[in-house]
């Protein structure tokens, strides 16, 4: 599954510089890319269903990793080519082995539920990619899992992989009516304790989730791939006036107000740099902060007279703080 | 300016994680990135994730004896197996990097080799195969570090305390708490709920990304450097709380007990690894550092009654404050 | 007083039925039977239901729930009605068998019974005493104060020795 991150790519925090080791065509429009560490070191392990953010050109996209996440000599993603998409899939498709890319560390936003008695995986099209990861991990740990895979004839990515991996545990559907029939049956026969995971186009996910709700599945058993929720977006650049000296400090996109103040020689107390501890609070004299912290209460946020400068930014050009 | 008497400082005072930033103490979501060196008035601490000190051998022996005596101090719900392996493959390399003279870890695929000269241990094991370790995996990793270990699973929009090996608890019971949500675990703590400290902590922890490491400190006081102050053994150590008040040896017997707690998102299982390392220093040792002596005295004198009651220090905290501030 | 945010359960308003494939109800005592029966009548007629009633919570009730859940499929809801000690014990069983909170409906009839866990000897004592009062542990005879801390996994309150700290004084006297 793919999702477009910000149109202008943010600087990747703590990124990995990897080399493209292999390119394989899965279908006429889907291509797999395998990345390795240039020095041959192992890459960080990851939670099944994780994604990485890949930079190509001035675009950054999130792609699901397809391995189990345990032994990580390499990262493999599969990319559907979208010619007029906002992301970088077309640019990626042009890369050849040997290319060097900046890749984020894996981020987890679609994890398997550890207490599940059974994992029911449901994928359509390129949505197969996180399911491959889930299925591989379940197989390695000896957990129970099965896969329902819908794809258009001739466009099923990773068919060989999933057939070999799943055997009996795979059901393939190549048209809508057979998929809906199979879905109905599957939703009614899962042992108590099953969790359902779905990935595919939005309409497909909506169909599956509402059919599950009708069949009496409670929301906490239903999981769909949400991209980008784990990342704090880099924010717009702004500048801030320091009330006591009148000095103006510029805060670029991707840099926190706290960092910008430090860089310009101002000492602000801090601990977590995550918006939770409360140390970095600054009084606001003018302007409207864009509150992104977990520390201030809703009432304090509405009052707009303080700001947690490690994560929060400004909604307008006229922010002035008491410093 | 208060000066420190270098000569009377014990080595453990030099590395002691003195927790107070001010002359009064209140609860907060006091997390910071780890590891990170913090200078103190006596030296400093915090440059390593896992701290090995001269008590290593004796504390691990004590843990083993407690677990033999009372198996309820180790608990693991059935789904936590991968998280325990994740803990092992995360911590052993950290140890090997920080203590290369005495520890060595190598891995090829699922096969691992671990050497720990401090314990005379040299083993090969296979990730996921418990029979290749000398004991059950959770107990094994608990036998390599002085820290107590808790593992939290994330599901249903909450964190769950689903496994742990806790032999040095500060007045709580793993056997009772295992299986609870993070918020339920903190149910007995005063103030933190009204102040949103625990909900905020949970949100923060749920957003931690794989490999991210944070830490916080917590503190209380203990009579006689007793590590095992669990609820289980309360009938044994409870009487000390009263006895110590009138003891002429109060300053030697009463210890400031500081927990350095690490919060780590494990890379493959996605569980939160919570490490609790307990450090203790007597009031007598503290008095060698005048700045600490004064600060702890003021904190103890000022601490609100509900917090002192909850920490179990009400009976003797004023006597302790008096000794620290008066002498 | 029990702090509002403690782990102690607070039976709230009667839960409303949810979209489900079928309901399986277990009730205890007359009150429990009536509550459960009345609640099941609120369900749409087309929804399948089964109600098993017991005089008190015992192994037979646990066995009945266990047998039903062992073959249950996702879509089932469990309704438990009766005194809190019985209801919470069976909820713990349901959760252990793979149910999630949203699938378990509790109708607690007030009778004040509760189970207390002794960490000093690991036994469980059943009592009518409220939180904050003292009960004698049936395992080790220690006086335990019933603490405002509750485990849903074991359906017990934590009890700890109430006079551990004074004991030294008495012994010395
Ligand atoms: C940022 C994270 C956390 C914060 C801010 C936090 C905060 C606190 C505070 C303020 C106390 C009271 C301590 C005292 O006065 O001595 C406490 C107690 C406790 N905490 Fe945490 N905590 C955190 C993480 C954890 C984690 C991950 C666990 C893992 C299980 C945990 C387990 C406990 C337990 C068992 C107690 C004792 C509760 C009792 O009295 O039964 N904490 N915590
Ligand atoms: S540094 Fe902790 S809230 Fe900003």
Tens-digit pLDDT profile for residues A234-267: 778 999 999 999 999 999 888 899 999 999 999 9
Q: Burial-class residue B115 by CB neighbours within 10 Å (0-12, 13-18, 19+).
A: middle
Least confident stretch, A89-98, B131-140, B249-258, C84-93: A89-98
Q: Delimit the domains of chain B by residue range.
A: 6-326
Domain boundary among A103, A136, A152: A103
The mean per-residue pLDDT over the stretch A215-243 comes to 79
Contacts from A17-22 at CB under 8 Å and sequence distance 24+?
A17/A100, A17/A101, A17/A102, A17/A103, A18/A43, A18/A75, A18/A100, A18/A101, A18/A102, A18/A103, A19/A98, A19/A99, A19/A100, A19/A101, A20/A95, A20/A96, A20/A97, A20/A98, A20/A99, A20/A100, A20/A101, A21/A74, A21/A97, A22/A97
User: Is A232 a domain residue?
Assistant: no
User: Is A258 a domain residue?
Assistant: yes
Sheet holding B121-126, edge to edge: B103-108, B111-116, B121-126
Q: How far apart, in whole angstroms, are the C-alpha atoms of residue A229 and residue A219?
A: 19
**Distance from C153 to chain A by nearest Cα, in Å?**
14
Specify the residue with its C-alpha closest to ligand 2, atom 3: A275
The mean per-residue pLDDT over the stretch C99-108 comes to 95
Task: Give yes or no: residues A92 and A25 share one domain.
Answer: yes
Joined tokens for residue A28: 């006429």
The mean per-residue pLDDT over the stretch B206-213 comes to 89
Q: How far apart, in whole angstroms, are the C-alpha atoms of residue C173 and residue C167?
A: 10
**Neighbouring-strand partners of residue C106:** C80
What is the pTM (predicted TM-score) of this model?
0.91
Q: What is the CA(B205)–ligand 1 centre distance, in A?
A: 13
Q: How many domains does chain A have?
A: 3
Q: Can you state the angle between helices C164-172 and B234-243, rounded to 10 degrees?
A: 60
**Mutation to test the A interface, candidates C75, C96, C103, most A Cβ within 10 Å:** C75
Average pLDDT, chain B: 95
The reported pLDDT for the residue numbered B132 is 98
Per residue in B170-194, pLDDT (tens digit) is: 999 999 999 999 999 999 999 988 8
| Omega of the bond leading into B35 within 30 degrees of 0 (cis) | yes
User: Residue A149 pLDDT > 90, yes or no?
Assistant: yes
Average pLDDT, chain C: 92
For chain B, report the end-to-end CA distance as a whole number of angstroms: 17
**Distance from B177 to chain C by nearest Cα, in Å?**
7
Q: How far apart, in whole angstroms, are the C-alpha atoms of residue B96 and residue B84?
A: 18
Q: Is A19 helix (H, G, I), strand (E, B) or coil?
A: strand
User: Residue A13 pLDDT > 70, yes or no?
Assistant: no
B191 lines ligand 1 (CB under 6 A): no
Ranked by mean pLDDT, which of A8-12, A47-51, A102-106 comes out on top? A47-51
User: Is A111 a domain residue?
Assistant: no
**Distance from B98 to chain A by nearest Cα, in Å?**
19
Q: How far apart, in whole angstroms, are the C-alpha atoms of residue A208 and residue B155?
A: 21
Cβ neighbours of B68 (radius 10 Å): 8
The mean per-residue pLDDT over the stretch C112-137 comes to 96
Looking at per-residue pLDDT, the higher value among B268 and B195 belongs to B268
The mean per-residue pLDDT over the stretch C17-46 comes to 93
- Chains A & C: contacts with CB separation below 8 Å: 54
Of the candidates A44, A274, A276, the beta carbon closest to that of B211 is on A44
Per residue in A285-295, pLDDT (tens digit) is: 999 999 988 88
Chain A contact for B204 (CB, 8 A cutoff): yes
User: Residue B85 pLDDT > 50, yes or no?
Assistant: yes
Residue of B nearest to A115 (CA): B79
Looking at per-residue pLDDT, the higher value among C4 and C70 belongs to C70
User: Residue A128 pLDDT > 60, yes or no?
Assistant: yes
The mean per-residue pLDDT over the stretch C24-51 comes to 94
Q: How many residues make up chain C in this entry?
A: 173
The reported pLDDT for the residue numbered A7 is 32
User: Residue A278 pLDDT > 90, yes or no?
Assistant: no
Q: Tell me how many degrees the CA angle A184-A185-A190 measures, rounded to the nearest 5.
A: 110
Least confident stretch, A103-107, B295-299, C89-93: A103-107
**Neighbouring-strand partners of residue B106:** B113
B20 lines ligand 1 (CB under 6 A): no
The reported pLDDT for the residue numbered A9 is 39
**Distance from C146 to chain B by nearest Cα, in Å?**
13
Query: Which residues of B are catalytically annotated?
Result: 216
User: Residue A21 pLDDT > 90, yes or no?
Assistant: yes
Specify the residue with its C-alpha closest to ligand 1, atom 40: B188
Of the candidates C75, C97, C98, the beta carbon closest to that of A217 is on C75
The reported pLDDT for the residue numbered B284 is 96
**Neighbouring-strand partners of residue C80:** C26, C106
Looking at per-residue pLDDT, the higher value among C101 and A202 belongs to C101
Q: How far apart, in whole angstroms, are the C-alpha atoms of residue B107 and residue A259?
A: 39
Nearest CA among A78, A55, A71, A66 for reference residue A4:
A55
Domain boundary among A51, A80, A103: A103
Specify the residue with its C-alpha closest to ligand 1, atom 11: B189
Task: Give yes or no: residues A308 and A270 share one domain.
Answer: yes
Ligand 2 binding pocket, CB closer than 6 Å: A 270-273, 275-280, 293, 295, 308, 310
**Model confidence band, residue C169 (pLDDT cutoffs 50, 70, 90):** low
User: Residue B225 pLDDT > 80, yes or no?
Assistant: yes
The mean per-residue pLDDT over the stretch A271-277 comes to 83
**Model confidence band, residue A84 (pLDDT cutoffs 50, 70, 90):** low
Q: Which ligand is nearest to the CA of B163?
A: 1
Report the CATH number that the domain containing residue A214 is assigned in CATH.
Answer: 3.40.50.80
Least confident stretch, A87-101, A135-149, A193-207, B218-232: A87-101
Nearest CA among C62, C25, C64, C66 for reference residue C42:
C25
Q: What is the CA(C143)–ligand 1 centre distance, in A?
A: 27
Task: Give yes or no: residues A135 and A184 share one domain.
Answer: yes
In this structure, is the dihedral angle defined by the CA atoms of residues B100, B106, B112 and B113, taken in order, positive or negative? negative
Q: Which residues of C touch A213 (CB under 8 A)?
A: 19
Report the CATH number that the domain containing residue A249 is assigned in CATH.
Answer: 3.10.20.30
Nearest CA among C117, C110, C121, C111 for reference residue C92:
C117
Chain B contact for A113 (CB, 8 A cutoff): yes
CB C148 to CB B187 under 8 A? yes
Residue of A nearest to C69 (CA): A192
Q: How far apart, in whole angstroms, are the C-alpha atoms of residue A272 and residue B2?
A: 30
User: Residue A3 pLDDT > 60, yes or no?
Assistant: no
The reported pLDDT for the residue numbered B244 is 95
User: Residue C58 pLDDT > 50, yes or no?
Assistant: yes
- Domain residues for the domain of A7 are 2-103
ipTM of the complex: 0.94
The strand pair at A118-124 and A145-150 is best described as: parallel
Please list the alpha-helical segments (H only) found in chain B. Answer: 11-14, 56-69, 81-98, 137-142, 174-177, 182-185, 197-207, 234-243, 250-253, 283-286, 290-302, 305-311, 314-326
Q: Is B310 helix (H, G, I), strand (E, B) or coil?
A: helix
Domain boundary among A48, A71, A103: A103
B170 touches B278 (CB < 8 A): yes
Ranked by mean pLDDT, which of A29-43, B4-18, B161-175 comes out on top? B161-175
**Model confidence band, residue A10 (pLDDT cutoffs 50, 70, 90):** very low
Q: Which residues of A touch B112 (CB under 8 A)?
A: none
Q: How far apart, in whole angstroms, are the C-alpha atoms of residue A310 and residue A304?
A: 16
Task: Give yes or no: residues A140 and A188 share one domain.
Answer: yes
Joined tokens for residue B101: 């003279």
The mean per-residue pLDDT over the stretch C161-170 comes to 80
**Model confidence band, residue B63 (pLDDT cutoffs 50, 70, 90):** very high
Q: How far apart, in whole angstroms, are the C-alpha atoms of residue B195 and residue A167?
A: 53
Residue of C nearest to A190 (CA): C73
Percent of chain A with pLDDT over 70: 90
Q: Which residues of C touch A117 (CB under 8 A)?
A: 98
């Amino acid at each position: 599954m793919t999702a477009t991150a910000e149109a202008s790519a943010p600087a990747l925090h703590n990124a990995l510089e990897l080399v493209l080791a292999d390119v394989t065509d899965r279908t006429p429009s889907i291509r797999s890319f395998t990345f390795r560490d240039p020095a041959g070191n192992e890459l960080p392990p990851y939670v099944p269903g994780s994604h990485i953010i890949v930079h190509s050109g001035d675009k950054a996209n999130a792609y699901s990793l397809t391995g189990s996440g345990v032994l990580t000599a390499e990262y493999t993603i599969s990319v559907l080519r979208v010619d007029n998409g906002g992301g970088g899939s077309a640019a990626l498709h042009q890369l050849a082995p040997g290319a060097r890319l900046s890749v984020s560390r894996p981020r987890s936003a679609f994890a398997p539920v550890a207490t599940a008695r059974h994992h029911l995986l449901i994928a359509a099209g390129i949505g197969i990619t996180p399911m491959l990861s889930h299925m591989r991990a379940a197989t390695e740990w000896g957990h129970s899992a099965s896969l329902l895979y819908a794809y258009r004839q001739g466009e099923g990515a990773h068919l060989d992989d999933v057939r070999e991996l799943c055997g009996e545990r795979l059901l393939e559907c190549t048209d809508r009516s057979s998929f809906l029939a199979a879905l109905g049956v599957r939703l009614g026969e899962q042992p108590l304790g099953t969790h359902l995971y779905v990935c595919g186009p939005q309409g497909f996910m909506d169909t599956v989730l509402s059919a599950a709700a009708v069949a009496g599945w409670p929301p906490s058993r239903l999981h769909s791939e949400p991209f980008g929720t784990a990342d704090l977006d880099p924010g717009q650049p702004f500048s801030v006036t320091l009330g006591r000296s009148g000095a103006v400090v510029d805060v670029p996109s991707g840099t926190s107000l706290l960092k910008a103040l430090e860089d310009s020689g101002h000492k602000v107390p801090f601990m977590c740099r995550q918006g939770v501890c409360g140390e970095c609070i600054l009084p606001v004299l003018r302007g409207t902060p864009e509150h992104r912290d977990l520390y201030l209460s809703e009432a304090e946020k509405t009052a707009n007279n303080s700001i947690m400068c490690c994560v929060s930014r400004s909604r307008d050009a006229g922010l002035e703080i008491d410093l | 300016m208060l000066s420190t008497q270098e000569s009377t400082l014990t080595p453990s005072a030099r590395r002691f994680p003195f927790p107070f930033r001010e002359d009064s103490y209140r609860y907060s979501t006091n997390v910071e990135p780890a590891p990170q060196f913090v200078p103190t008035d006596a030296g400093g601490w915090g440059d390593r994730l896992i701290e090995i000190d001269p008590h290593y051998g004796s504390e691990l022996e004590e843990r083993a004896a407690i677990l033999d005596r009372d198996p309820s101090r180790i608990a693991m719900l059935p789904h936590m197996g991968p998280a325990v392996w994740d803990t092992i493959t995360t911590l052993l390399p950290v140890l090997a990097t920080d203590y290369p003279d005495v520890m060595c870890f190598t891995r090829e695929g699922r096969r691992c080799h671990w050497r720990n000269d401090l314990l005379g241990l040299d083993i090969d094991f296979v990730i996921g195969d418990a029979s290749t370790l000398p004991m059950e995996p959770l107990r094994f990793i608990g036998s390599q570090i002085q820290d107590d270990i808790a593992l939290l699973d994330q599901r249903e929009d909450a964190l769950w305390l689903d496994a742990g090996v806790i032999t040095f608890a500060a007045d709580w019971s793993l056997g009772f708490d295992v299986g609870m949500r993070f918020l339920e675990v903190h149910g007995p703590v005063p103030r933190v709920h009204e102040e949103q400290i625990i909900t905020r902590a949970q949100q923060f922890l749920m957003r931690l990304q794989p490999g991210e490491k944070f830490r916080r400190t917590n503190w209380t006081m203990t009579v006689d450097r007793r590590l095992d102050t669990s609820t289980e053994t309360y009938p044994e150590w409870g009487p000390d709380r009263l006895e110590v008040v009138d003891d002429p040896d109060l300053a030697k017997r009463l210890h400031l007990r500081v927990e350095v707690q690490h919060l780590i998102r494990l890379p493959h299982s996605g569980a939160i690894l919570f490490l609790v390392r307990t450090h203790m220093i007597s009031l007598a040792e503290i008095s060698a550092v005048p700045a600490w002596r004064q600060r702890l005295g003021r904190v103890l004198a000022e601490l609100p009654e509900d917090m002192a009651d909850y920490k179990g220090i009400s009976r003797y905290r004023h006597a302790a404050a008096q000794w620290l501030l008066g002498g | 007083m029990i702090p509002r945010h403690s782990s102690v359960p607070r039976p709230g308003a009667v839960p409303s039925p949810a979209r489900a494939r079928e309901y399986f109800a277990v009730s205890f005592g007359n009150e429990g039977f009536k509550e459960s029966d009345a609640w099941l009548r609120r369900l749409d007629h087309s929804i399948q239901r089964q109600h098993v009633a017991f005089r008190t919570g015992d192994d037979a009730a646990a066995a009945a729930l266990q047998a039903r859940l062992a073959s249950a499929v996702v879509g089932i809801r469990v309704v438990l009605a009766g005194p809190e000690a019985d209801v919470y014990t069976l909820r713990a069983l349901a959760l252990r068998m793979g149910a999630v909170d949203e699938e378990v409906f509790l109708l607690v009839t007030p009778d004040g019974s509760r189970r207390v866990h002794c960490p000093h000897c690991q036994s469980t004592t059943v009592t009518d005493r409220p939180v904050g009062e003292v009960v004698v542990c049936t395992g080790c005879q220690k006086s335990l104060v019933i603490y405002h801390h509750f485990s849903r996994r074991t359906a017990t309150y934590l009890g700890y020795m109430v006079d551990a700290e004074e004991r030294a004084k008495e012994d010395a006297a």
